[in-house]
Structure 1
């Protein structure tokens, strides 16, 4: 039996937002890697270099300019953080002067403000790893420099979230000094950020300690981004990555980005030759296939076997991804009575030879029908290698719909709106406060659904929604960046009270498509009234 990973299917704890499917410098200009390799991963977000990038990581030419890659990032549903000090060519950064830096800040922010078709920017990252890259002797104390830079950005851009301090590892005393100074100055970051580049084993403790620190300083909870994770020895090891992702999901981070150690345009080693997946890509593909809600997983300890799991209640499919342990081990699933008395269980694995070696498919391990006993099931995963990733899929033996038809709004890519909860909502979640319609990059509100359909044809799209405004509301509808149509939402019984639906049709190509529902978006003059989104369903 070995070690046991327990999956409590009846204990969901958050929407499936693929928080750890992100990358530092994941994209290069000219569509690299190909969209076809990114769409299946449901890329959450990226950290990309500043407009006019000068950074030459690992001796490469400058690349990955955040504004230049924005069209591709948008096509695959990903948001971006802009890393401002990457305007400089060297790493560690070579400080010139305050006049030079503030002039560069002004230039970067104005370039972004002038890029009126770019709406996927999630935040300004003011500096990177200041705990060792900030030149205190030349620039003065970082805490003062942070506030000075913060004010320079806010003087031009009053709405885009600010991200930081992006220290190279979790350091309570460093953060305590920084947060105390920023609180006093009125320059607290909107999104708190640090890096986890050594081992996943400390992630839970670090985040718990940060929350305690935040509370002790009287600071309201910040969103957390770990925008660099996994060391060079870990980033291409699927089993190790499974442990990182599991811990990020359980800890409630908003986003996490694979660290950049090698080449631009490969999604940090997930793609080779622009279009071919590596072994680690398959682990993220399994992650991308998850829908519905993340469910609670309990590892035997923090140092070995671990995994993450989801349950899609509309298709009755459980997905479990695990690794970081050798030998024969067990996945214990509880709360699976809704799947029926018999279930089909498939197990597959993936291994990475190198970031240059293509892996055209995952490896089949087993497929069998199991009898469910007492609402639980034990799945034995034999002969595991600690470096490999494993995928367990459990579904009713009687079969499931051939493709995912329902897509929860809270699982989608959400821009300038909020994920909320309601007992009447499908899977308990929805997206509300899709309020802005000024057709500017800083206020446009929309939700992008990345969907996958089996054939090119016209589909009926049913939208679950609420509209407590008392009159019919409208939103814009666009597919794959095409022309705009409109969706109408008649008034319902109230905000956050779901059960009403409205319908339309959409023409989709076979495979992956991106469907946008918008209150405001480039090329769309803006919707009327307001509507909250529960889900879309394609039939």
Structure 2
């Protein structure tokens, strides 16, 4: 195992988690009950983008996990090792997970990836071989990536990993100077792909201030700020870390950067679903763009969401499946003590989806803002997944209760008795009789995989957001597109209604692909940017999950004409 494991054991309890799984040093609450998680459907936090649905070394090859295994989890992004990697992670006997080898699998699953450059070395901590060796390795990695003109969705070079204890200061000089030297080398070859870092193993104010000051003064600021959150039970510190980092930016006059946590959850707590839920909750609440499950165990299992023997789902898998089903907007949740959760509201189907857990005993979920459902009665279903670890397959979650409840003042209180602090629970609320459609038909652009474009808020857009600046078509690094992950009940032809805006005054076009060759979609002018109209096209889809790409530019597509913004698509 990686040497840093020795830092993580801070808890006091030993908890058995089912057959073949034990977690030593896990941070868990004492026996408690009578706690309440509050959910306010009327308070939007952000669009639902599955911030925490990523993994380090989560994809092992082009077929492990298969694309069909990944799609239901709606992954956001991964961190994968360098092209040509020789790295032997966590007891492995041969290298795996090369970013170029797994790239198409990640793209087919609607996700993106960072490339971890120092994982070209075979060992961890890294065995520094001198600057000539390192710069030759960096140059080859970047050129290997540039040769892959078919591969999109690489959205960052991670220049180093955990420099606070893996950088060889004695031989290589200071890390800050090494960052600048490596940054300038990468930029001399690839001036497009974002650079991310500094990727310390823990967040420390002094180190971050020193690094950001140096990066500002040398014009080598990362495009995305990365650090790791790996200590037992430390999720409540994440908001302090974000606030401290934002204060550093402001003090230095630096434009705010997006934040990625590309390793989260400790070795001791990795297999406890409720601990991952705590991380998920704070990442959504406090503004991470993306977060990746840590790699403590076998690569290519999405960091323990699948068993090694047979690729079957583990207990944690079901929590991430519920999370993947969150559409529309993330709404406000307020924890109490160890009870916490993530909630979403999809206005197109009138579904409130809440994932919660973290404590023992008889507890309650209070939900307000249900006036949005327009019903005096609601159907309420509570389901659970156990804390059974990564070596025990869980073929399906367990239904705890199903009931119909009266809504009073837009509120209900849902009692959940005999809760297990290691387990996670899902609470689904719909108008009495079920959601407005049997399957998801409306897909918001801001919920999709947005590549080289940006999300904006607007009262004129459905759900309050749309995607604009879909402008790039120069090459595979800068191509702009939106990938919608859709799930349909049967194979066949569907009408797809695209809500778009085109303020150019002339007809513009996008490329449209659903797994095969591109066709072209035309957008007539609208009243202006952010003023949406619709057009219909026909798409042929297979049963189950599909990726629908609308692109200004993409490999195997010559590029669209003019420009257009995307609000949503609707399938029928």
- TM-score normalized by the length of structure 2: 0.92
Cα distance in structure 2, aligned partners of 1:14 and 1:253: 11
2:174 matches 1:141: yes
Q: Which residue is equivalent to 1:118?
A: 151
Whether 1:282 and 2:318 are equivalent positions in the alignment is yes
- Are 2:62 and 2:104, in contact at CA under 8 Å, matched by a contact in 1? no
Cα deviations by residue, 1:310-337 (Å, 9 ceiling, x for unpaired): 0000100000001111111111111101
Give the C-alpha shift of residue 274 in structure 1.
Answer: 5.2
Q: Report the alpha carbon displacement of residue 353 of structure 1 after superposing the two structures with TM.
A: 2.0
In 2, the alpha carbon distance for the partners of 1:207 and 1:329 equals 30
Instruction: Choose from 35, 50, 65 the match for 1:3.
Output: 35
Aligned partner of 1:222 in structure 2 is 257
Structure 1 position 210, deviation (Å):
1.1
Q: Which of 469, 472, 475 does residue 436 from structure 1 map onto?
A: 472
How far apart are the structure 2 equivalents of 1:365 and 1:36? Answer: 28
1:422 equivalent among 442, 445, 458: 458
Residue of structure 1 in register with 2:4 after alignment: none
Q: Helix, strand or coil: the match of 1:322? A: strand
- Aligned-partner SS, 2:249: helix
1:350 counterpart = 2:382: no
**Of the candidates 53, 67, 78, which is equivalent to residue 46 of structure 1?**
78
| SS class of match (2:534) | strand
- Does 1:25 find its partner at 2:60? no
Q: Does residue 1:484 correspond to 2:553, yes or no?
A: no
Q: Among 550, 561, 567, which residue is 1:528 paired with?
A: 561
Gaps of 5+ in 2: 1-32
Matches of 1:403 and 1:3, distance apart in 2: 34
1:216 offset after TM fit, Å? 1.3
Aligned length: 534
Root mean square deviation of aligned Cα: 0.9
Select 1:58's aligned residue among 60, 82, 90.
90
- Structure 2 CA distance, aligned partners of 1:178 and 1:102? 21
CA distance in 2 between counterparts of 1:365 and 1:434 reads 44
Partner of residue 169 from structure 1, selected from 195, 199, 202: 202
Choose which of 245, 268, 280 in structure 2 pairs with 1:245: 280
Q: Choose the corresponding residue for 1:316, options 330, 340, 350.
A: 350
Quote the Cα distance in structure 1 between the aligned partners of 2:257 and 2:145: 24
CA distance 1:224–1:212, change in 2 (3 Å): same
Retained in 1: the 8 A contact 2:66–2:105?
A: no
TM-score, normalised relative to structure 1: 0.98
Structure 1 ranges of 4+ moved more than 4 A: none
1:211 Cα deviation after fit: 0.9
Q: 2:405 aligns with which of 367, 370, 377?
A: 370
Match of 2:527 among 485, 488, 493: 493
Distance 2:275 2:472 in 1: 41
Matched, 1:259 2:259: no
Q: Determine the C-alpha separation between the residues in 1 that align with 2:305 and 2:322.
A: 13
